Chain A
């Protein structure tokens, strides 16, 4: 049987198939074009001032320097709050947010996927529909709710409103759907409580989905300048992204801006590189069935 198939395939490939190498070359070229602007970003961050405004403009840096980095710190030394405080705020808020996000969303996805409680279908349908919600369009009601709850001007305002990420919940639920129910039933027979089933079985199973949640949500919180702008009135609670936005747009600070945008972008990319295989594992079940 196998022999017949191989023969058939050989016959079908009478003409030599060059499509493999062609695809590889095409993909490499397109990949370079796609990635080039990021290389430019890195290169610009190391350019001395005379190269930044060179005519005709250059792509790669010739005499790399760290001057832009020290420029950035000079800019920040004039600000009301030290650079380290902005950095701390961003890191603190990001870590808290991602941790709570994963907790809240994994907690919700486990029953949605594995329990047939009344309303589970309707709720999941709501989540699927909510993938299309434009919450940003309801700015004023959101603002009123947040100020009424009194979480404005605290770290909570960065963390709480974004916790219910429907994209993350959706991906986690689809991922858990393909895990056989028997695992949980076996746990139940052994007398484990639902909380135990969640912490000891569901959470470890969702490890890859957690990595995906981090990738998809990291950029949003790390680069969140809007929240600082709208809800925070004290400078020492504001984030790095907010500060970076305030120094941008000034020609004299082109180099410093390049460095700052590097700081805003690089962590996302590094996290993606580290976690890529896990993300792919989760995404394999991302479809809407």
Chain B
């Protein structure tokens, strides 16, 4: 935007003396707007300024800086040294821990992402089928888990998946005779990710879910009647032919949030560091390099790979779900 502004200034300043008609045409064609028009909207720019200043300083700038730093070696104490693609080479070829973190994150994202998404839609749809007066209660029951703080999650699920026999799950399984000694839910290498996924699924009905509930509510009732004339009568058919097409925009919004949320998973139920790094995620790996080892260049490369992954998947979601006009 700033760039656009500057070039507008340059263009309009020079030919203003000469042929005014042609200048107007040229600028209009190349930039679409004249400086005059920008000035006319000064109030609009004034109103959006606080938001975008904060946005640029605290969101855009750090991400751009990260991208630049990913091509350097930097330990904060000395100046960054340009190292080209070394970080990326190390990342993909020589860092077994990154591959571990990547596969753990992927494992998590592939399950929690789609399952959370489908569950959000499914429960929102079911809630839409019940009489109005009950809806608020159900929405609360399903949405409340995602409002719980991290500490609360630890209290509740820590007891559920406690490693000794006083844990609920272990106590239950022991009592029923399925197992003879307590299972190490949060320390067993093969169980860390599944347990984390179960807990994540419990709290996966978040903003996207609310968006769906509201989206269903916004579907025009007359469409059901119209569809009924065409032979669409069962709830399931209505979902297929009326509800899904009508809630496409919400589906896209939730997909974007779901993708971002699933790939930025941080800590697991095992804590960090975890046995054999079975609970290592990309975000934790990144945190190790930026916060503990101060290898900022390498940490930035991880951040870039993660961002590209998310933005790429987001692009696909847009391609698939966005209304083509």
B residues less than 8 Å from A144 (CB atoms)? 65
- Kindly state the separation between the CA atoms of A268 and B68 in the bound complex, as whole angstroms: 39
- Kindly state the separation between the CA atoms of A198 and B43 in the bound complex, as whole angstroms: 11
Given contacts A284-B218, A286-B215, contact A135 B58 (CB under 8 A): yes
Which of A35, A167, A198, A284 has a CB less than 8 Å from the CB of B217? A284
Pick out which of these stretches binds chain A: B11-19, B88-96, B109-117, B122-130. Answer: B122-130
- Kindly state the separation between the CA atoms of A161 and B55 in the bound complex, as whole angstroms: 8
* B307 & A104 in contact (Cβ 8 Å cutoff): no
Q: Kindly supply a per-residue 1/0 record for chain B positions 133-158, scoring 1 wherever the CB is within 8 Å of any chain A CB and 0 otherwise.
A: 01011111111110111111011110
Which of B123, B144, B229 has a CB less than 8 Å from the CB of A272? B144
Tell me the minimal C-beta distance from B235 to chain A in angstroms.
6
* B149 & A265 in contact (Cβ 8 Å cutoff): yes
- Kindly state the separation between the CA atoms of A55 and B51 in the bound complex, as whole angstroms: 54
Q: Which secondary structure characterizes the binding site on chain B?
A: helix
Determine if A19 is an interface residue (Cβ-Cβ < 8 Å).
yes
* A195 & B43 in contact (Cβ 8 Å cutoff): yes
Determine if B54 is an interface residue (Cβ-Cβ < 8 Å).
yes
Pick out which of these stretches binds chain B: A5-13, A69-77, A231-239. Answer: A5-13
Given contacts A55-B165, A289-B249, contact A134 B156 (CB under 8 A): no
* B225 & A5 in contact (Cβ 8 Å cutoff): yes
B residues less than 8 Å from A87 (CB atoms)? none
- Kindly state the separation between the CA atoms of A35 and B148 in the bound complex, as whole angstroms: 11
Determine if B248 is an interface residue (Cβ-Cβ < 8 Å).
yes
Determine if B280 is an interface residue (Cβ-Cβ < 8 Å).
no
Q: Kindly supply a per-residue 1/0 record for chain B positions 227-255, scoring 1 wherever the CB is within 8 Å of any chain A CB and 0 otherwise.
A: 01100011100000000000111111100
Tell me the minimal C-beta distance from B175 to chain A in angstroms.
7
Pick out which of these stretches binds chain B: A21-29, A78-86, A91-99. Answer: A21-29
Determine if B278 is an interface residue (Cβ-Cβ < 8 Å).
no
Which residue on chain A has the smallest CB distance to residue B152?
A: A261
* A164 & B290 in contact (Cβ 8 Å cutoff): no
* A27 & B44 in contact (Cβ 8 Å cutoff): no
* B136 & A132 in contact (Cβ 8 Å cutoff): no
B residues less than 8 Å from A222 (CB atoms)? 149
Given contacts A57-B159, A286-B214, contact A111 B44 (CB under 8 A): yes
* A277 & B136 in contact (Cβ 8 Å cutoff): yes
A residues less than 8 Å from B275 (CB atoms)? none
* B143 & A111 in contact (Cβ 8 Å cutoff): no
B residues less than 8 Å from A61 (CB atoms)? none
* B252 & A287 in contact (Cβ 8 Å cutoff): yes
Q: Kindly supply a per-residue 1/0 record for chain A positions 176-199, scoring 1 wherever the CB is within 8 Å of any chain B CB and 0 otherwise.
A: 000000000000000001110010
Given contacts A41-B152, A272-B143, A288-B253, contact A283 B299 (CB under 8 A): no
Determine if B310 is an interface residue (Cβ-Cβ < 8 Å).
yes
* B50 & A108 in contact (Cβ 8 Å cutoff): yes
B residues less than 8 Å from A19 (CB atoms)? 129, 234-235
* A219 & B218 in contact (Cβ 8 Å cutoff): no
* A37 & B59 in contact (Cβ 8 Å cutoff): no
Which of A104, A142, A276 has a CB less than 8 Å from the CB of B140? A276
* A135 & B152 in contact (Cβ 8 Å cutoff): no
Q: Which secondary structure characterizes the binding site on chain A?
A: helix
Given contacts A35-B144, A38-B148, A133-B59, contact A280 B214 (CB under 8 A): yes
Determine if B314 is an interface residue (Cβ-Cβ < 8 Å).
yes
Could you tell me which residues of chain B, from 32 to 72, have a CB within 8 Å of some CB in chain A?
32-33, 37-38, 41, 43-45, 47-48, 50-52, 54-55, 57-63, 65-66, 69
Q: Kindly supply a per-residue 1/0 record for chain A positions 100-140, scoring 1 wherever the CB is within 8 Å of any chain B CB and 0 otherwise.
A: 00001101101110010111101100001111111111111
Which of B63, B157, B213, B228 has a CB less than 8 Å from the CB of A133? B63
* B47 & A283 in contact (Cβ 8 Å cutoff): no
* A23 & B62 in contact (Cβ 8 Å cutoff): no
- Kindly state the separation between the CA atoms of A243 and B262 in the bound complex, as whole angstroms: 28
* Of listed A131, A138, A144, A160, residue having the most chain B CB within 10 A: A138
Determine if B210 is an interface residue (Cβ-Cβ < 8 Å).
yes
* B136 & A118 in contact (Cβ 8 Å cutoff): no
Tell me the minimal C-beta distance from A189 to chain B in angstroms.
17
Tell me the minimal C-beta distance from A74 to chain B in angstroms.
19
* B218 & A161 in contact (Cβ 8 Å cutoff): no
- Kindly state the separation between the CA atoms of A124 and B95 in the bound complex, as whole angstroms: 38
* A279 & B264 in contact (Cβ 8 Å cutoff): no
Give 6 A-B pairs besides A166-B59, A198-B47 with Cβ atoms closer than 8 angstroms.
A19-B129, A55-B165, A57-B166, A132-B259, A222-B149, A283-B215
**Can you show 5 pairs from A to B with CB atoms below 8 A apart?**
A57-B167, A104-B54, A117-B44, A166-B59, A169-B51
Residues of B within 8 A of A (CB): 1, 4, 31-33, 37-38, 41, 43-45, 47-48, 50-52, 54-55, 57-63, 65-66, 69, 76, 123, 126-127, 129-130, 134, 136-145, 147-152, 154-157, 159-160, 165-168, 171, 175, 202, 205, 207, 210-211, 213-215, 217-218, 225, 228-229, 233-235, 247-253, 256-257, 259-260, 263-264, 283, 286-287, 290-291, 296, 299-300, 302-303, 306-307, 310-311, 314, 318, 322-323
3 closest A-B pairs by beta carbon, nearest first, are A287-B249, A283-B214, A108-B51
